[in-house]
Structure 1
């Protein structure tokens, strides 16, 4: 069969929380519930004029001629999963992209497929994420259910692009759509652009803006934005990113990061994230008390 390139919307829907279910119910009962949920997702796809391309473990790959149809299916899947699993810990992670795809041997290939899979991978349980192309392909009413979620570098790209999250919890409340979600897109984006974070470390000073690449801290010479030569510090210790209107400290280290915000009690992070507020002190790899003057100071400017 020869390959054919067309414009389509690709959606992945992944069931999260299935591993604990197998431990809780046993293989047979858990597999029965998973298959029942996958069947429900297949039926919803067909209902909204989509096609299931394949099932990969606990995930379905689907395609639609229209992005609006894909998001309608995604919202119904989320709502049906919520009702279906009741007291179970099953939730869906859904990613959607619109663009060119290659159809070959009853499968799909191309950048659009990769983008949809990537968005599914970073989506939190119970969430729907859309690429910028998918968002731009929606009708106005559907766009009002979305808000800017993050700026990410998609797989195979070098520049950041906006991605969007779609609300699904309230389907028909138009007052909610207009007053809350649409307002969130406009006002939130304008306000976020005014933010900056000022960092000081010894005699060095850094100004972090909302459109900067992640600010990395560690012992990775030539790569770290801020190089700290200390045995307590990991090569790639932590980074500060701007996401959803906040500067967020993300620890990826062995010894952790200690944060004191607004003269409150010290917080210990290890492989965790924390939004930075007001002003405070960050100590890399050891508590502020032990670090002495070898700490970072920060001030959030709005």
Structure 2
């Protein structure tokens, strides 16, 4: 998991339609069906390292060490409950709310806040608080969308976990590695860091660029360095091209193209680095 997702989270989930089933089949049969759902749900919580787990009648409450784990557990719970066949035409479904522990207060605990999320939205919905969504890894955050409100309810602010496949362990590992990658760029005594939080650095002659190079050979929006898929790219969009001098290699020009940067070097915007080292942009991997 990424450091970004590390925060204690609470998952409140219940099994809907148990009352309807009890009216049709009786309390004992309905209770058995709900218990079967809760058993499946508790195994999911344990598989995603729930630090605390409590089951009461038709409700499960679990706490998790981070946001990604809580959401993945909720998703698998929903899939396992969906897989159970209906009984006498009545289908049991999961409703879940996932929040941060820190969203609790003296007036309302995090558990009550999560329970209100559950009650405010349609069955078979996993509602996620906006605060928790901000701590998810990027691939998990892409699985969220606007929540559908239950008829007659004014839904609390939340997002909904959609039905898209979850990211694979390999994708999550790649994101964690990318989150740790940094490139330091310097120009005329100033420095910038390119990382997962700030993946793009622009340079050119216009003042709106991150790095402004005042040279007539420099285009208004000359080039950029971009962190993408774990690699740093130099992308040129200029008239005169961007000159790249990396350690141990000869200088070459990148024009209307992009190039994967190595560990260390200098960049000239429209001019050779050797001709104007003062206005060259230096870069190095941290």
Q: TM-score, normalised by structure 1?
A: 0.46
> Which has the larger Rg?
2
